[in-house]
């Protein structure tokens, strides 16, 4: 038949051209989108629309079985597709329903589909793989006493699942998590349907209503209690705590609604479908603003070591990130100051409101250290890359209090009403989007009614801290010679300096 033979010819031609394509493709290489701090994060040529992640958990000593389904749109013709993925074994890969060849190159998983993907065309990738919670603790799965949690910031999501691991490519997420009886699984977003029990295993399904960066994904498996409540204007609250600690932690959980109200008064409506804290029996040394479900170490709430006002201000810090960092995601990792500067700002403002540590005093103390912080970590908007093997070394004081100081200077320069308008408009205009430093300068200039570029430039990019408007008496001591600790210098790796009302440094500054 004519039709059939034409089809056959077309198939043969396609097969021949595919062979030719395969023969001339150069060896696969690891790619990135050119982030100044993480050049190999992310991948060119496609935009992820959604992730559908399935995990089967057994115990902390075994890799999880996982299936990652990615729906994307090609933004260029693609003969190869790079994903970021490491620390798991791949069993199979498919592109648009057909098996694809896969190879690991560095921390990329490189897929070669049978037929090239057309520019603008749909791209569905399915990878069957394992996800290994064991090994070096540099992000990804975090073992807890009773299971696992996740901490992917900045570049560890691809230690858990294959992805386009850069905050500039946000997507919707669905999580399907199966775990043995006695354990409870929770993830970002809302629960789609009641947990489904089949034999000895139960499966939970969660979905995000808003796009999310891979670094903000959260999956918790443990002997957990899920404590529901209601926040301002009916916002669903969902906290996840070790079941055994529920009663002890309850007074802390009750504070969240008030924190949200406090933030909403300042910047407008909470941006997501629900909120809650995930308190894990784990030693991480940090808290993390995973979207809709912020991760905290249980030791923060143990009642010894940290005064109540400090714990609350850290809770507000992670909550503030839901607007600054989660809803509005940084364009590159050099824009991290927009996350941490704002979260520190509201943390400090909250402590100020409690009458425990005034904003002005905190900013004056930050001012005194700012030149040292800039010398150690680079300017707030152009931070130095972390040393090899110290990925979280990026989270230095210069992007916390050193960046909150920029916001303080801006408020001093343009006045509180204009500053407040900037904050509200920033999170409204870029809601569910990405934005960078230039966007902030532009928006600030618009709200202030004058070009703030020349004013903000040295605050953002200078090696020296500019004079503080309204505080000519503030001064920054010169940096100490290399190797010598300067007076008042924060210990390396310590984040916002937590202090008691009496000015005593709190034990163990926390990365937040
Ligand atoms: Zn933070």
- DSSP, collapsed to helix, strand or coil, labels residue 261 as helix
Residue 321 lies in a domain: yes
Question: pTM of the entire structure?
Answer: 0.91
287 burial level (CB within 10 Å; 0-12, 13-18, 19+):
buried
Ligand 1 centroid – CA 284 distance (Å): 14
* 216, 235, 254 - which closes a domain: 216
* Cα distances (angstroms) measured from residue 483 to each of 369, 479, 509: 16, 11, 22
Question: H or E segment at 371?
Answer: helix 359-377
Token readout for 366 is: 């930050």
If asked whether residues 204 and 345 sit together in one domain, one would say: no
* 169, 196, 216 - which closes a domain: 216
Ligand 1 centroid – CA 325 distance (Å): 9
- DSSP, collapsed to helix, strand or coil, labels residue 251 as helix
280/478 Cα distance (integer angstroms): 41
CATH number of the domain to which 85 belongs:
2.60.40.1730
Q: What is the pLDDT of residue 20?
A: 46
Task: Provide the domain count of the chain.
Answer: 2
Closest among 207, 198, 272, 219 to 52, alpha carbons compared: 207
If asked whether residues 207 and 313 sit together in one domain, one would say: no
Question: H or E segment at 50?
Answer: strand 46-56
Q: What is the pLDDT of residue 504?
A: 38
Residue 262 lies in a domain: no
* Cα distances (angstroms) measured from residue 183 to each of 166, 224, 250, 258, 268: 31, 7, 20, 30, 37
263/464 Cα distance (integer angstroms): 32
Q: Model confidence over 201-252: pLDDT tens digits? A: 999 999 999 999 999 999 999 999 999 999 999 999 999 999 999 999 999 9
CATH number of the domain to which 395 belongs:
1.10.390.10
* 152, 183, 216 - which closes a domain: 216
Q: Are 88 and 77 in contact (CB under 8 A)?
A: no
Ligand 1 centroid – CA 416 distance (Å): 23
Question: H or E segment at 264?
Answer: helix 256-267
If asked whether residues 348 and 492 sit together in one domain, one would say: yes
Question: In the Cβ-directed half-sphere of 437, how many Cα atoms lie within 13 Å?
Answer: 24
Residue 258 lies in a domain: no
400/340 Cα distance (integer angstroms): 5
445/437 Cα distance (integer angstroms): 12
If asked whether residues 188 and 319 sit together in one domain, one would say: no
Residue 1 lies in a domain: no
If asked whether residues 51 and 193 sit together in one domain, one would say: yes
If asked whether residues 381 and 481 sit together in one domain, one would say: yes
* Cα distances (angstroms) measured from residue 404 to each of 57, 299, 349, 407, 506: 40, 26, 10, 5, 20
Q: What is the pLDDT of residue 391?
A: 63
Ligand 1 centroid – CA 112 distance (Å): 38
If asked whether residues 317 and 434 sit together in one domain, one would say: yes
Ligand 1 centroid – CA 510 distance (Å): 10
Contacts of 406 (CB under 8 A, 6+ apart): 337, 341, 380, 456, 459, 460
Residue 97 lies in a domain: yes
Ligand 1 centroid – CA 17 distance (Å): 51
Residue 358 lies in a domain: yes
Ligand 1 centroid – CA 342 distance (Å): 8
356/308 Cα distance (integer angstroms): 10
Domain that includes residue 390, residue range: 307-512
- DSSP, collapsed to helix, strand or coil, labels residue 81 as strand
Residue 482 lies in a domain: yes
Residue-wise pLDDT tens for the chain (512 aa)?
333 445 444 544 444 444 444 557 899 999 999 999 999 999 999 999 999 999 999 999 999 999 999 999 999 999 999 999 999 999 999 999 999 999 999 999 999 999 999 999 999 999 999 999 998 777 999 999 999 999 999 999 999 999 999 999 999 999 999 999 999 999 999 999 999 999 999 999 999 999 999 999 999 999 999 999 999 999 999 999 999 999 999 999 999 999 999 999 999 999 999 999 999 999 999 999 999 999 999 999 998 889 999 999 999 999 999 999 999 999 999 999 999 999 999 999 999 999 999 999 999 999 999 999 999 999 999 999 988 777 668 999 999 999 999 999 999 999 999 999 999 999 999 999 999 999 999 999 999 999 999 999 999 999 999 999 999 999 866 655 554 443 333 333 333 444 433 333 454 457 88
If asked whether residues 369 and 468 sit together in one domain, one would say: yes
Residue 58 lies in a domain: yes
């Amino acid at each position: 038949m004519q039709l059939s033979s034409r089809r056959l010819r077309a198939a043969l031609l396609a097969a021949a051209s595919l062979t030719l394509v395969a023969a001339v493709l150069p060896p696969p290489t690891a790619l990135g989108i050119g982030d100044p701090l993480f050049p190999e994060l992310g991948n060119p040529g496609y935009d992820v629309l959604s992730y559908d992640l399935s995990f089967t958990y057994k115990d902390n000593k075994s890799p999880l079985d996982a299936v990652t389904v990615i729906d994307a749109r090609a933004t260029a013709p693609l003969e190869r597709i790079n994903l970021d993925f490491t620390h798991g074994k791949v069993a199979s890969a498919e592109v648009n329903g057909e098996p694809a060849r896969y190879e690991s190159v560095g921390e990329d998983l490189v897929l070669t589909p049978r037929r090239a993907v057309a520019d603008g065309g749909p791209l569905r990738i399915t990878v069957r793989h394992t996800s290994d919670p064991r090994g070096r603790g540099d992000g990804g799965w975090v073992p807890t006493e009773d299971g696992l949690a996740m901490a992917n910031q900045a570049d560890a999501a691809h230690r858990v699942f294959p992805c386009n691991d850069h905050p500039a490519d946000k997507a919707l997420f669905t999580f399907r998590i199966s775990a043995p009886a006695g354990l409870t699984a929770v993830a970002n977003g809302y629960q789609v349907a009641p947990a489904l029990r089949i034999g000895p295993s139960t499966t939970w399904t969660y979905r995000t209503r808003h796009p999310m960066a891979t670094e903000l994904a959260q999956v918790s498996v443990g002997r957990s209690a899920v404590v529901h409540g209601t926040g301002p204007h009916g916002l669903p609250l969902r906290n996840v705590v070790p079941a055994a600690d529920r009663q002890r932690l309850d007074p802390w959980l009750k504070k969240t609604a008030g924190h949200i109200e406090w933030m909403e008064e300042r910047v407008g409506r909470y941006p997501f479908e629900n909120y809650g804290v995930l308190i894990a029996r784990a030693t991480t040394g940090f808290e993390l603003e995973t979207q809709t479900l912020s991760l905290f170490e249980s030791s923060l709430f143990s009642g010894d070591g940290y005064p109540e006002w400090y714990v609350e201000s850290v809770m507000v810090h992670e909550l503030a990130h839901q607007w600054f960092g989660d809803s509005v995601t940084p364009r590159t990792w050099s824009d991290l100051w927009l996350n941490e500067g704002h979260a520190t700002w509201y943390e400090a403002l909250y402590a100020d409101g409690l009458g425990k540590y005034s904003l002005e005093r905190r900013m004056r103390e930050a001012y005194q250290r700012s030149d040292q912080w800039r010398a150690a970590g680079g300017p707030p908007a152009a931070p130095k890359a972390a040393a090899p093997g110290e990925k979280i070394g990026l989270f230095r004081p210069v992007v916390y209090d050193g960046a909150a100081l920029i916001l303080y200077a801006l408020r001093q320069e343009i006045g509180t009403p204009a500053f407040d308008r900037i904050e509200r408009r920033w999170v409204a205009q870029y809601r569910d989007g990405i934005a960078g430093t230039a966007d902030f300068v532009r928006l600030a200039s618009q709200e202030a009614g004058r070009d703030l570029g020349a004013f903000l430039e040295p605050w953002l990019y200078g090696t020296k801290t500019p004079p503080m408007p309204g505080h000519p008496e503030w001064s920054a001591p010169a940096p100490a010679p290399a190797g010598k600790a300067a007076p008042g210098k924060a210990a390396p790796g310590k984040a916002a300096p937590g202090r008691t009302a009496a000015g005593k440094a709190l034990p163990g500054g926390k990365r937040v």
